[in-house]
Amino acid sequence: MSRKGELFAGLTVALVTPFKDGKVDEAGLRRLVDFQIEAGTDCVSPVGTTGESPTLTHDEHERVISVVCEQAAGRIKVMAGTGSNSTAEAVRLTRAARKAGATGALMVTPYYNKPTQEGFYQHYRAVAEAVDLPIVLYNIPGRTAKNMEPETICRLAELPTIVAIKESTGSMDQASQVLNGSDLTLLSGDDSLTLPLMSLGGSGVVSVVGNIVPQDVKAMIAAWNSGDVREAQSRHHRLFPLCRDLLGLATNPIPIKAAMRELGRDAGDVRLPLTPLTDSELQKLRASLRDYGLL
């Protein structure tokens, strides 16, 4: 089956939002974009979960998208985070992303207010009808408190501007149902599951670990796409412990920001209510980075 949204196939890196003196570090953000361009990354995704979007002000959120699009300057795709549990706010953010020049919008399912499946459908439909920009659905019930069911996702796939989904349920059955019942491009939302999801027909990943080792993630994807299953598996197993620790030691993006600091690419602290790693957690992270050969 040919799939719409293949423009987002490959490696998308979920960018951290760098802070300095309590404010968004715009110069640091531009360096992050350039780092990914130099690494050959296919797309960057600002102001998602990894970008700490819940603690950004509305002005900061729009400014981060604008800075990333400006720095990208057509050299790399931009999948801007524009989701909200308010449909009106999601429309506003998506319009701002389109105006800034984003390639597409990454829209998390409405969180906290737990809409019905019909509510999910009408939310995305309203944004799709209001803004002419490719939309990537983002289903992560572990954070939003409610799953968007495969039947709803497949129904949304009938809307022309909804082109892909970031699959973060951890369920191979759900991913299979979406791939079976729609022509959406499916992207892994969990670095540890990228290769398993690609074996089902997924097309890539929106990656956290790509903030520090984008070439390695891209090489795993390329190996799979070229039919070199053994090489893809070898790369998966090398990446797995690092991916596990970056998402398991503490809530994302606490560990990835700590890792970047350890590697001399300080992006500042996380904002409250997130807190830095404890000393014991930091020691475990350092061991993981050493084992991988980064320290």
What residues are annotated to the active site? 138, 166
Whole-number Å distance between alpha carbons of 259 and 78: 24
Tell me which residue of 143, 148, 187, 145 sits closest to 165, measured CA to CA. 187
- On whether the CB atoms of residues 104 and 80 are closer than 8 A, the answer is yes
Kindly state the helix (H) or strand (E) to which residue 34 belongs, with its residue range. Answer: helix 26-39
Measure CA of the first residue to CA of the last residue in the chain; give whole Å. Answer: 43
DSSP assignment string, 168-217: -S--HHHHHHHHHH--BEEEESSGGGHHHHHHHT--EEEESGGGT-HHHH
CB-CB contact of 55 with 272 (8 Å): yes
Tokens of 210: 């790509």
CA distances from 203 to 85, 178, 218, 235 (A): 27, 13, 12, 17
Element (H, E) at 97: helix 87-100
List for the chain the helix, strand, coil content (%; round to 5).
Answer: 50, 15, 35
